């Protein structure tokens, strides 16, 4: 992932957040990131919901190449877990179901036993010497190459045979890259869920750091939404992707020690052959607050346009930070527009800021639905999705729902089969002008101007 210097800051009111890395100034603000468990949102179809925290079964998963968005970063930022600074020398030792990698300097990195240890020469051969035509993508972490390995032994095999994998190489850029590598190995080495990318193994030799993932046939959601040559995603596919990604984050948040993903964005959502969404790139993941605390304090890292405003302003990180980022991605799925785009007119460059007024009612919401859908979407589903995005993007973290609630709403939307036509959309738009029943009385007043 790319980074900007520690001088990247945020300026002005919440509505002006994330204009650009050069225009922003950090300022102190009282944190509102306390967790909540129950609320009353009848306009989304649920009443007095207490969101369940359930673990999901494991399955085979996939691989990531980092996106190219503008990132928030500060020098010597720490990621969870903290790691050793030495980049050369390592030895492996096995202890039951886990293995310990001794890094130069005396620190140990505990690895899950299911991870394979690859030699650099094997990965070099598997990717055909890291040839340019094997390159899948490139980000601040490094380059990602396509390769082929034996399904059982893990050795290199002839291209087109065995197991197709993606091999991510670490740029030699010092401490921060190594910390992100450690976080990726630690979290994905231990966590297994159908909607998380599957880490197959690693390589750590001298100053070389590589990660091996299962190959994901359809690449990133970012490419499908924004690449000009890509066919537009169908409405049902968009909701399926949103639901899968939400289940992945719900799994992270529901652990005994919650994991905050901290980098939820379209480039980190990968798709398999059936458009099943899997979260990738855990370099910024961090353990969440414990013992009744509402947040953890950390240096600000992430991507402008996706990062929650209270986190950008104060460094206070909670699971609600991920909820805000999810709301931004949901907006991208609804509108087909990027979270940040400086080519758009002033006032429209930040999608969350520009789109918020359109989420308050049916008439305006239907104006911003991705025109490439050509009215082939559920009007009821789109309205509910818009309202869901509205609460996810609340300026008050306490007012944002949990990911369990989001999953329930998306499952409801997935079951909606009505399809919009031009006439239907026009009728809904005209009828809404004289109706104020979609939001409960006083709801917007209670939420303020958010």
Is 398 annotated to bind a ligand? Reply is no
Taking the model in full, what pTM does it have? 0.73
The reported pLDDT for the residue numbered 299 is: 79
Number of domains making up the chain = 2
3-class DSSP string for 67-103: CCCCEECCCCCCCCCCCCCCCCCEEEEEECCEEEEEE
Residues taking part in catalysis = 263
CATH number of the domain residue 418 falls in:
1.10.510.10
pLDDT in tens, 339-350: 999 999 999 999
Q: Would you state the pLDDT for residue 110? A: 57
**Predicted local distance difference test score (pLDDT) of residue 307:** 93
Residues 176-204: pLDDT tens digits?
577 788 888 889 988 999 999 999 999 98
The boundaries of the domain holding residue 244 are 14-59+219-434
- Residues 371 and 397 grouped into a single domain: yes
Q: Are residues 236 and 261 in the same domain?
A: yes
117-132 residue pLDDT tens: 999 999 999 999 999 9
Round the average pLDDT of the chain to a whole number and report it. 75
β-pair type (199-205, 116-117) = parallel
Q: What is the pLDDT of residue 207?
A: 84
For residue 128, give the nearest of 157, 92, 85, 107 by alpha carbon.
157
Residue 441 lies in a domain: no
CATH of the domain at 128: 3.30.200.20
Residue 78 lies in a domain: yes
- Mean pLDDT, rounded, for 12-37: 36
H/E stretch holding 319: helix 319-335
User: Are 101 and 163 in a shared domain?
Assistant: yes
Query: What pLDDT sits at residue 437?
Result: 37
322 within a domain of the structure (yes/no): yes
With bands split at pLDDT 50, 70 and 90, how would you rate the model's confidence at 114?
confident
402-421 pLDDT tens trace: 999 999 999 999 999 887 76
Residues 87 and 135 both lie in one domain: yes
């Amino acid at each position: 992932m790319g980074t900007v210097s520690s001088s990247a800051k945020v300026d002005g009111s919440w509505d002006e957040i994330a204009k650009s890395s050069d225009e922003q100034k950090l300022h102190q603000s009282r944190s509102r990131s306390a967790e909540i468990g129950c609320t009353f949102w009848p306009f989304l179809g649920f009443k007095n919901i207490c969101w369940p925290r359930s673990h999901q079964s494991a399955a085979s998963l996939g691989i990531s190449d980092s996106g190219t968005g503008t990132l928030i970063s500060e020098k010597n930022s720490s990621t969870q877990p903290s790691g050793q600074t030495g980049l050369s020398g390592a030895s492996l030792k096995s202890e039951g179901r886990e293995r310990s990698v001794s890094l130069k300097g005396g620190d140990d990195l505990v690895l899950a036993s299911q991870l394979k240890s690859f030699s650099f020469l094997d990965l070099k051969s598997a990717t055909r010497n890291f040839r340019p035509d094997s390159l899948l993508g490139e980000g601040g972490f490094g380059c990602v190459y396509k390769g082929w390995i034996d399904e059982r032994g893990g050795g290199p095999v002839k291209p087109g045979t065995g197991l197709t994998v993606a091999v991510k190489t670490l740029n030699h850029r010092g401490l921060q890259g190594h910390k992100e590598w450690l976080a990726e190995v630690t979290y994905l080495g231990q966590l297994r869920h159908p909607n998380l990318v599957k880490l197959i193994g690693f390589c750590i030799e001298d100053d070389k750091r590589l990660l091996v993932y299962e190959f994901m046939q359809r690449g990133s959601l970012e490419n499908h939404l924004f690449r000009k040559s890509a066919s537009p995603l169908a409405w049902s596919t968009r909701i399926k992707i949103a639901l899968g990604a939400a289940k992945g984050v719900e799994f992270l948040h529901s652990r005994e020690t919650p994991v905050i993903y901290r980098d939820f964005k379209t480039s980190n959502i990968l798709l398999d052959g059936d458009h099943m969404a899997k979260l990738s790139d855990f370099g910024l993941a961090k353990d969440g607050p414990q013992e009744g605390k509402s947040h953890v304090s950390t240096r600000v890292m992430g991507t402008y346009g996706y990062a929650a405003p209270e986190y950008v302003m104060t460094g206070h990180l909670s699971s609600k930070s991920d909820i805000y980022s999810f709301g931004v991605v949901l907006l991208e799925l609804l509108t087909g527009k990027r979270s940040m785009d400086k080519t758009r007119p002033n006032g429209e460059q930040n999608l969350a800021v520009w789109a918020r007024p359109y989420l308050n009612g049916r008439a305006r919401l239907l104006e911003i639905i991705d025109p490439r859908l050509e009215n082939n979407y559920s009007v009821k589903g789109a309205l509910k999705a818009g309202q869901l995005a509205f609460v996810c993007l609340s300026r008050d973290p306490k007012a944002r729902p949990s990911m369990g609630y989001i999953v329930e709403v998306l499952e409801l939307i997935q079951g909606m089969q009505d399809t919009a036509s031009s006439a239907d959309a026009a009728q809904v738009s005209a009828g809404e002008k004289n109706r104020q029943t979609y939001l409960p009385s006083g709801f917007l007043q209670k939420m303020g101007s958010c």
